Structure 1
Amino acid sequence: MTPHAAASDPVLPPDITAHARDLGPLESPLIWLTAAGAAVAVLAVTIALAHHRRARRWGTAGAVTLFLVAAVTAVNGYVGYVRTPDDLRRLFERGSGAADAVGMLLDDGIDEPDAAPDSAAAPHPGPASSSDHIDVLSLPDPAHAVPSGENYVILPPGYTDPANAARRYPVVYLIHGYPYGGPLDWLTSGAAPDTLRSLETEHVIAPMITVSVDLTAGTPSKDWEGVDVPGGPQLETYLAKTVVPAVDHRYRTIPDRRHRALGGMSGGGFAALNTGLHHLDEFATLVIALPYDDLNNSIGILDGHAGAIATNTPRRYLPTMAFPQPIAVMLAVGTGAPTDVATARRIADALHRRGQEAVVHSEHGFNHTWHTARATLPYLLAFADEHFRPTNIPAS
């Protein structure tokens, strides 16, 4: 098989890439440095007043609390999971009891996703004009052991304008990480709405529908990796055969493989690679951040089933895989994570040897975190856009 010509890494406006790399207000190192400094100060005062029992007790509690705040915010600053107060509010609302109550107190009542219509045949209603309009498409699928599925559908500006009533759009599906990930992550930590808006405003990409898929099977703490689990949730089938048809039915998509891309980050990146390679008839483009090509520590979910393990290990099957239809793949990594870099190059090389298009995009100094996923998302979406439209036709 003749190797495919090397794909190109999209070149983007500097303001878009700089914005994608920016830290959110809750990621600033000033937060944990301030908390750590305050903890040291309180501890020093506590030591000086050690002969006062009450001062010692309260001072010790205060210092420990501040050190914990410093540790948590330092980790968050590194990982990039909670960027803004709104991200924090959404995180609290995932919990129950006191955590959910805190989330409600932080809720400003705006920018909430709207529930999609219950009837599969009903058209999307939406407002008179659409800018960052987001639907919640609830798709439980008990037949595939998926008890719930809150999929977030980001509609492009102008989707509901009467002038665009006949216009159809390509679709990018994005999968969250594992474990403890969820479909809201691409809207918060991944900043997908902001990235789409900036790319579309500067005419880097044509308008597209983006779907953040729920592959948690109702248990976000489980490291499902988006596979069809023997005796458990059939998440790959749920995505390809339940979510995709539902989105095509309820929204004005271009319902063919060429106008459909699948992506994700970390565990979601594995799910995108594995599912995309299994469903070449559904997806022509894969856009993956922080990729890997085997289950590693997550292999336990397959409970030793040799056939399932082989089927869900791209590192094994990709080198000899047949491609009745071509696929284009972009793999995005941070140079601060050498394992990610080596994995991305291994996947790309395997694809090239099978005659497929693949490119590796690297962000200097970034690691295996949401910072990298967020910083590389503009490149991933631009890559998808290039493959949605005919060659040499610019976005408009």
Structure 2
Amino acid sequence: MVNVPIPSIPDEVLRHARKTGPLESHWIWITCIALALALMVVAIRVRPRRRAVIAAMCCALLAAVTGINSYAGYVRTLPDLARLLQRGGPPLRALGLALGGPEDTPAAPRPLPTGPTAPIIERLDIADPANAVPSGRTYVLLPPGYTDPANANRRYPVVYLVHGYPYGSPEDWLAAGDAPGTLQLLYQYHALAPMIMVNVDLTAGQSSRDWEGLDVPSGPRLETYLSQTVVTTIDHRFRTLADRRHRALGGMSGGAFAALNIGLHHLDEFTALLLTLPYDALGDGDRLLGGNPALLAANTPRDYLRTMTFPHHVAVLLTAGTGARTDIATATRIADALHDRGQAATVHIEQGFNHTWHTARATLPHLLVFADQVFAHGAGP
């Protein structure tokens, strides 16, 4: 087997990445359940019962929502909740603004970690009507010192990360994925060379659709959008090392499928793939691709990877949690197929987590340090 070793990561970084936020606490949903039960007792003993029953139902619903969040690790803090609410309709948006302060703007995204090692966050909209992508909220995390005059001629490698599907968004890597906090600590402990991170929007303006990063016939061409429009825009706007040796593409869950499929289709653009909670087969692809056998075959890595020709070497890190046996099996299958084709592939298993943002967040340091290693030493023999 061919593997790329992952250098040791400071314990402080790993502990931070595994840490749960205050809104992920089990005590929240446990307390809500206790309140619901207490209110039901009140409803049985007190008349009129209607208000107590309604309150009990609200507490039970809140227990369910907070219990799911505790499991999935999607909303960690109050600012995370504010950002999520701002993506809803007018009432939710107003509540989100009340909880989180000023609304994000392209020039001034919501404040995140600050300090000398914190990344500089910019937001831009990359629209591509020619490929049926009406808008694309893209977050660019620049390394500390990027704007210093002393670094005016310095160029940086780029890591592109794709959100999950459906109901994913590029903000997810900022909030649930805690990319800014992870980068800040990695820089603080000198565990990572400066790089640019790009959180890509592959929703085509419809976050409820499971697009899987595909070029959809008579629909958005998201593979083309990412590999051509987004990469070209980032290279033109920022000081990147604009070659495949200094680009990595990654994602979580459905975004990991998109990264795998797009990355394998564009080996001339990406030298490393960073896949957490991976898939190697289409979910809604049959419907999206109209049942076209040729398109289905061309977009099912589980099948085409076994006989694929590699004009360039690629290095792949796959991560999964011990609680998600399917993810572990998929990661191992992909790694074995890559090894059979002479490519570098490593599987990292995170203890105690499932197919959730907990795993994506906990393994992000490994993904970034792996990319850093590949940028420095190459993808393979």
TM-score band by shorter chain is: over 0.9
Q: Distance in 2 between matches of 1:196 and 1:113?
A: 22
> What residue number does 1:75 align with?
68
> What residue number does 1:378 align with?
365
Q: Distance in 2 between matches of 1:141 and 1:39?
A: 49
> What residue number does 2:111 align with?
none
> What residue number does 2:112 align with?
none
Question: Do the aligned residues in 2 keep the contact of 1:90 with 1:103 (CA within 8 Å)?
Answer: yes
Deviation track 1:210-267 (CA, whole Å, cap 9, x = no partner) reads 0000000000000000010111100000000000010000000000101100000000
Query: Is 2:163 aligned against 1:176?
Result: yes
* Paired residues for 1:299-314 under 5 Å: 299-314=286-301
- Structure 1 runs, 4 residues or longer, greater than 4 Å off: none
Letter in 1 for 2:63: A
Query: Is 2:316 aligned against 1:323?
Result: no
Identity of counterpart residues, as a percentage? 58
Instruction: Note the residue ranges of structure 2 that are not aligned, 5 or more in a row.
Output: 109-115
> What residue number does 1:30 align with?
27
Cα shift at 1:11: 2.3
Letter in 1 for 2:87: R
> What residue number does 1:190 align with?
177
Decide which of 192, 217, 234 is 1:247's aligned counterpart: 234
Letter in 1 for 2:37: V
Cα shift at 1:352: 0.3
Cα shift at 1:31: 0.6
Cα shift at 1:37: 0.8
* Paired residues for 1:193-204 under 5 Å: 193-204=180-191
* Paired residues for 1:209-228 under 5 Å: 209-228=196-215
Q: Distance in 2 between matches of 1:205 and 1:37?
A: 45
> What residue number does 1:163 align with?
150
Question: Do the aligned residues in 1 keep the contact of 2:159 with 2:248 (CA within 8 Å)?
Answer: yes
Cα shift at 1:300: 1.7
Q: What's the Cα RMSD here?
A: 1.6
Cα shift at 1:45: 1.3
Decide which of 256, 272, 276 is 1:269's aligned counterpart: 256
Q: Distance in 2 between matches of 1:113 and 1:352?
A: 45
Q: Distance in 1 between matches of 2:237 and 2:117?
A: 16
Q: Distance in 2 between matches of 1:113 and 1:356?
A: 42
Deviation track 1:63-84 (CA, whole Å, cap 9, x = no partner) reads 0000100110000000011111
Query: Is 2:81 aligned against 1:94?
Result: no
> What residue number does 1:369 align with?
356
Cα shift at 1:22: 0.6
Decide which of 84, 89, 101 is 2:77's aligned counterpart: 84
> What residue number does 1:5 align with?
2
> What residue number does 1:125 align with?
none
Q: Distance in 2 between matches of 1:225 and 1:247?
A: 22
* Residues 1:306 and 1:187: Cα distance change in structure 2 (over 3 Å): same
Q: TM-score, normalised by structure 2?
A: 0.95
Letter in 1 for 2:94: A
SS for the counterpart of 1:349 is: helix
Question: Do the aligned residues in 2 keep the contact of 1:291 with 1:344 (CA within 8 Å)?
Answer: yes
Question: Do the aligned residues in 2 keep the contact of 1:42 with 1:59 (CA within 8 Å)?
Answer: yes
> What residue number does 2:36 align with?
39
Q: Distance in 1 between matches of 2:68 and 2:3?
A: 37
* Residues 1:296 and 1:107: Cα distance change in structure 2 (over 3 Å): closer
Q: Distance in 1 between matches of 2:72 and 2:288?
A: 26
SS for the counterpart of 2:258 is: helix
Which range moved further: 100-109 or 27-36? 100-109
Q: TM-score, normalised by structure 1?
A: 0.91
Query: Is 2:268 aligned against 1:293?
Result: no
Deviation track 1:148-181 (CA, whole Å, cap 9, x = no partner) reads 1111101111110111111111100000000000
* Residues 1:107 and 1:45: Cα distance change in structure 2 (over 3 Å): same
Instruction: Note the residue ranges of structure 1 that are not aligned, 5 or more in a row.
Output: 117-128, 392-396
